[in-house]
Structure 1
Amino acid sequence: MTPTFSPKRDISARWHDLHGAGDWAGLLDPLDPALRAEILKYGEFASATYDAFDFDPLSEFCGSCRYNRHKMLHELGLAAKHGYTTATRYIYAMSHVDVPNWLARTSTTWSRDSNWMGYVAVSDDIESRRIGRRDIVVAWRGTVAPSEWFSDLKAKLVRVNDAVRVVKVQEGFLSVYKSKAEHTRYNKSSASEQVIEELIKLVRTYREKGEEEISITITGHSLGGALSLLTAYEGALSLLTAYEAASLIPDVYISVISFGAPRVGNLAFREKMKELGVKVLRVEVEEDIVRNLPGIVMNTVLKKLSITKRLNWIYRHVGKQLKLHVSSSPYLKKESDMVGSHNLEVYLHLVDGFVSRGAKYRWNARRDLALVNKNSDMLIPELKIPQFWYHMPYKGLVRNRYGRWVKPGREPEDIPSPFSSELSCREPILELVEC
């Protein structure tokens, strides 16, 4: 019967170290309390991409965000909690939400080609003073749609632009990140182009206001963790190019905090990320198999033969690792559950309780235990928390003025639109069959 979060600390004098300036030396084991709070904050930004995502195949807006970008963080309670009040941009990618054949997407649905994949947000003035800089956060959604799992499983390494090294990344991740098509409404530009354009615009805006300390923190879970690395890589290169052209020094600190992320690229990719100064903290659960994908078989065999050190054609992880164990929590089931151990809320629960290797789950952990079972069945039965309890009331149905249960329309401002000008002129969707 205690609050679900601790009072906020002023980290303005420490933020560089908390975001990897010293490669987190001495901060991970034991886990620094201020770093724990930072990890949980960005984990909740990643979690918001699931909570706000409309994945109902019966919804006219399946594949979109349920809220417009001005209210999403408020609706999910993160604006008041963390001080990032508005998403400055939504990110869309051409990965398809699969729906039943009898409900295939048509020209009447909001989009036949694109899914909402995440957002960009900025810390407000009060939060910026607390954390010591203006922070631009990019949060990527993880895998939900079956076709996105197919992208995850493609194991081919393909080359990305690099003048010096043969930098290669996983084909499926790059496809989600880079795909675009002129006939689409939301992906005439790729997810890559959308996010990089927004980052350059925001950095330039705050530089022109005289702000010297600016950071870009990229976060995501699962597929979102992979997209976070691609964003950090391309963002660092793009900012350097943009500022070289303007004869300015970028001095923008870029870090990644990922959860359950798979491997993304080869040795050259890892070395290039290090050269660019991008700091990466991978939060991983030992029982989660996704962290070893792709290339799990080849990497395991070559590692046993001790010949992986300089090979450039196998997958490599990037950055530092914070490894957690399901067995460390007295509240989680101990039997194997590969899907459950990959769940983001399980990750956040374990971060909240982690003290150090071999230590017990901390007695004063604050995060609400019930959140673990939002989308899993990982809590022990003694807690009496229902499994998979996070649903919209009445599974999204509402009663209209005639007493009939119907699918509701959205408020005009929450209807997906690639053009902000459409928000004021779209008519609300009519209720179904008023008879």
Structure 2
Amino acid sequence: MSKLIHSLVIFCLLLLAPQSVAGEKIDGIRIWPAPDSTRVVLDLSGPAEYTYFELKNPQRLVIDLKNTKLSTSLDGLADDAKVLTNVRKSTPKSKGSTRLVLDLSQNVNPMLFALVPAGPYGHRLVVDLFNAEEKVQQAKRKIETDRDIVIAIDAGHGGEDPGSIGRAGTYEKHVTLKLAKKIESLINKENGMRAIMTRTGDYYIDLNKRTKKARDAKADLLISVHADAFTSPGPNGASVWVQSNRRATTEVGRSLERREEYGQLLGGVSEALKDTNTEKYLARTFIDLSMDHSRDQGFTVANTVLGELKKITKLHQRKPQSASLGVLKSPDIPSILVEGGFISNPREEKMLTNAWQQNRLAKAIVNAVKTHFKKRPPDGTRYAKLHKVLKHKVRSGESLSLVAQNYKVSVSSIKAANRLKNDMIKVGQVLSIPQS
């Protein structure tokens, strides 16, 4: 009997042995080229143990994955990535392992990190290749005259971060990019305005880089475009969000914050590791007095956008909503986030992918932007000259209706331009007088 038990134990150990050394698989490899970096993502069947090193003449990045088998093709992976010329296998340093070689066209600063399963993805090894030879030129800010009003258009999510996914399989990142490009086109047709895009293709950009791109372009306004989502298909309608230090005002807002945190984890880990001053920067942001002005202007724009959106679609919320969102935290740029509808709602998912509805949404947003800046054009812009706003100092005996009559404008336009809640004005008060 003891011999039989001994034999069974040995048999069981032999059965278990192959499983213990079987290791993991590389099920897929994806490349995400961006203007200033390239991301390589290895989809893995489980957590992998890895090491890497660089070789020069020619430039190569060698990645060793212990107890890992390659189960996907490497053909054509580097076709669209300028920094990569080829991705290939090489002789592994140990049996049962995989060695991948990334042949590079230039010197890079690599950063590798593993991600645990999240959303639609399983285990991943992310390889970020930052262009080490890129020369960053910081032009001195000049006092400009007759400049264009610059609108930064931010297409939410992108690349490794798909955003929310509709029931029909629609990716939010695709909807936002199409809508953002339509907004860009309309803005660029407006005399005295110019649009810049934070991303122009399907790649991920860290939240800090999005606001940095807007700041580098000296943007007067940042509009981040998204498609809303909820755990049930019921909620619907468009909404506009502004920055708040406080907790989100609704459960949808709290859900939005969690989705953004997920996107940051999914797509921007390397940037968070790279930017050691992130927390210090955000701390300075919140104590910067200019934040108050940015929020005030952002809230005004948000109200105007809602006024235009309600003409073409249902509103989820009639007033601007507030949440703590990284893309809106720029201390010196008024910023809003526009949710064109709920991608989790089957009806609105179809609308969001419809070119006709996208055109209507884009036109409504741009009309609101034009209305806002006609009333409040930044000094030194061509828009200020084209839509001149006069200044009037209130004298003794003058009423708001008298001032309006003298300048041949409506009382409501003066109230809107000066954010007056009633018709009361004071002697010595300086009023902006909008001109059509």
Query: Same fold by TM-score, threshold 0.5 exceeded?
Result: no
Please state which structure has a larger fraction of its residues in strand.
Answer: 2
TM-score by length of 2: 0.26
- For normalisation by structure 1, the TM-score amounts to 0.27
